[in-house]
Chains A and B, each alone.
Chain A
């Protein structure tokens, strides 16, 4: 028991901060209905800002803290409120994509600007011993962390009970329309809650960074702990959220003691919050989970079809181009092979998100499972290449069935969270097991096929193998979409209730679509490992899953089912090969930023035309103003201003 004390102390200190992050997340979710996947990224941004001010610019730390928490937090809150307001009427899936896009954008920016190397973050709080419990030293930093956590929680509690804005905030949660009738302005209340929420995130960011080292991914993943805390609070209760954070911190810390030395289980402490999250989701009756903003409808596919010549002509032209690629691109052929493989990944993701309106934030995990399984089947068990490919698809499909289990009970936000948790669990625990990648840093390997005239050594031959599989996948999925299942999936995206009340066993449909999607993603993983020879688990992280979703959203905003998969693969794989500046970080920013925009535009929250008109009018006014200053002629100024106003009209 005694040897646990140091772990409990560490757990309390970090758990208190998790609770703090959770409070911010829960508060903003409850008042606006928008669940902010970028909550941790905001914390990360604050920590980096503090780092720049304090370490690079040598500011006194309290000054740096005031700016990164007291100024940056509220500013981030204002921006978030603006974004959230535009999203309120959007579909749940759109809202998720938008905040995930924001996460990608912020994280990409931080990587791009600061580099991906981990930096040590200064422990700016005093680390001197404050006191000792049973021989364990408790530092002032730890005391301060706990105090800040408890203090913020109590402060928030009093604020919500005793102040006018606080009471209004609770009213917004209960009935925003009713509150508006009383003359209070829900918008002002939401601004207040986003400011508080983002300030809490920033505070967590700078306090937790010293224990984590400065790394954008690690800090963004802080949101994971916050997710767990919020789940314990059932997305509603603030006291339980804070307590949940503390519990997660302590459990994770104590688990570290027992599991960190055990091979294969060392990742578990890191996923404690998600184990908590998944468990809470699986045992809580759906009706106890509050409904967020957004309409519960899935992807929107327009009923319009391109004219027949285009339908037949476009695949022919594209097919001819793809056949000719090895003769056109020279040494860049591997890029195109990989891109084709990603077409399959995007098609399978599109089947879930676009056709059936489900959400999956764990798609890269399927590809990872496919890659590792294929290696075991072909190298260890000696299956022939093609047999291995199909067997891999089947195994991955079964993994898909596991992910379908939460999908049966949950939808929208809660499904997104459960799949994200699944992805992290795979990435940090399951991938490391001997079943998949094992503990080797290099991961696992596989060879290319040697089938009749196809030579394993020839990149061109393998390109055509991939092309054949891609074509087969396209045909299979297009047929599937046309068949009865396709109609059910589209129906599911529009109105699951209508399908259930007409007699469809929707759980079975969900299992089928997740299995089918995972099957193809697994096949893609197998093709990928054959292509590159060796794959380590870091290729298919949960971050990759988010990036895929971002890329597909961007591509999907402009094109149909099959086209968007090719476009997304082009954006993700081919595009960077030609532009040396386009690194993963830049892609992350691009996809993230564009995904946010696409989300805003796709649901008509923002309309390009009005946006353009408004920008134009603003520009005119700006020009008018500079003109005025230059000429200092009141008459000319009036004319120009009138013209600008006219243009606006």
Chain B
């Protein structure tokens, strides 16, 4: 490992093509540890494609992904996760037939087991203890301890979002990619979500890259924003700078309401 201590995730010159369509165009961004970085843009801007390329589910046409100072472009998704990259999904990927506690525990277990055939079958007592502790803590932090024994398939969207967050928390990842974690949440849940995210960043020093449509949440919690449009980076700055940017406004033309809401939020929050 080289790189600075706060090097979280660096995306260098990333290009993703689907056939002839360029989804992400020579994108460069860096999401350091201990900070909350936002990635926003209109629908189809290439946010999820960027996430998929970062987490290794999608092979980029060109460019590099550097995780914690290490070039992981050629590593698979599981290897990146074991190196400390966790993520959630816009369309949640949960183990719907299992309980909340099992869901949360499985992330830690998966990291421990990796590709070791023996460890995939049974856990050592010490590993098991670590899993239990991490699960309890994650449930506590996300405020879903009361749901621990419920089957995920029976939960509401908001609760599921929290389960997914608890899962990446328990996984002990250094860097998190959160894909629209607040969609489907009501206002109170969304605020609570923001608080949890801030706690993660300040207390545990992890880095978060956040894709989000809820501008209010983005503007409140993020330290820095990257704005994508048609796969290309059109703006990079603090939330205040972003709000003021005419370029960003133009890109969101037609989604003016979104920016309006953000403006209101600014006044509301202070």
Contacts and interface: CB of A to CB of B under 8 A. Distances in A.
B86 A501 contact: yes
B98 A484 contact: no
B98 A483 contact: no
Contact of A493 (B76, B82, B97): B97
Given A483-B121, A505-B78, A300 B86 contact: no
B254 interface: no
A494 B98 CA distance: 9
Contacts of B234: none
Interface string B89-128: 1000111111100100111011101111101111100000
Interface stretch (A27-35, A361-369, A506-514): A506-514
A648 B94 CA distance: 39
A497 B97 contact: no
Given A491-B106, A500-B77, A484 B113 contact: yes
B101 to A, nearest CB: 11
B122 A502 contact: no
Interface string B55-92: 10100000000000000000011110110001101000
A301 B98 CA distance: 9
A500 B81 contact: yes
Nearest to B105: A487
Interface in A461-502: 480, 483-485, 487-488, 490-491, 493-495, 497-502
A424 B68 CA distance: 49
Interface in B137-174: 151, 153, 167-168, 171
Most buried by B among A297, A483, A487, A512: A487
Interface in A386-414: none
A618 B98 CA distance: 40
A63 interface: no
B117 A502 contact: no
B94 A494 contact: yes
B102 A487 contact: yes
Contacts of B95: 490-491, 494-495, 498
Contacts of A511: 117
A508 B107 contact: no
B106 A509 contact: no
A511 B116 CA distance: 12
A487 B98 contact: yes
B117 A491 contact: no
A503 interface: yes
Contact of A504 (B94, B114, B122): B114
A303 interface: yes
A381 interface: no
B97 A501 contact: no
Contact of A508 (B81, B87, B94, B115): B115
B117 A503 contact: no
A580 interface: no
A163 interface: no
A623 to B, nearest CB: 41
A303 B78 contact: no
Main SS class of interface, A:
helix
B16 to A, nearest CB: 13
A502 B97 contact: no
Given A502-B167, A506-B78, A488 B57 contact: no
A426 B167 CA distance: 43
Contacts of A182: none
Given A484-B109, A503-B81, A512 B120 contact: yes
A633 interface: no
A331 interface: no
A134 interface: no
B55 A502 contact: no
A504 B78 contact: yes
A610 interface: no
A302 interface: yes
B140 to A, nearest CB: 20
B106 A488 contact: yes
Contacts of A498: 89, 93-95, 106, 167
Contacts of B76: 500
Most buried by A among B79, B111, B113: B113
Nearest to A513: B120
Contact of B106 (A303, A483, A487): A487
B114 A503 contact: yes
B94 A488 contact: no
B78 A500 contact: yes
B259 to A, nearest CB: 29
Contact of A488 (B93, B120, B168): B120
A507 B78 CA distance: 10
Contacts of A509: 120
B109 A488 contact: yes
Contacts of B79: 503
Given A488-B106, A494-B96, A504 B120 contact: yes
A504 B82 CA distance: 8
Contacts of B57: 497, 500-501
B120 to A, nearest CB: 6
Nearest to A357: B97
B120 A501 contact: no
Given A484-B120, A509-B120, A512-B120, A503 B97 contact: no
Interface in A235-267: none
Given A484-B122, A487-B106, A501 B87 contact: yes
Interface of B: 55, 57, 76-79, 81-82, 86-87, 89, 93-99, 102, 105-107, 109-111, 113-117, 119-123, 151, 153, 167-168, 171
21 contacts: A303-B97, A484-B121, A485-B121, A485-B122, A488-B113, A490-B98, A494-B95, A494-B97, A495-B94, A495-B95, A495-B96, A497-B57, A497-B89, A498-B89, A500-B76, A501-B57, A503-B110, A504-B114, A506-B78, A508-B115, A512-B121
Given A484-B120, A503-B107, 15 more contacts: A300-B97, A303-B97, A487-B102, A487-B106, A488-B106, A491-B106, A494-B94, A495-B94, A498-B106, A502-B167, A503-B113, A504-B78, A505-B78, A508-B120, A511-B117
A-B CB proximity, top 10 nearest: A505-B115, A503-B81, A504-B110, A303-B151, A498-B93, A503-B111, A494-B95, A502-B107, A502-B110, A503-B82
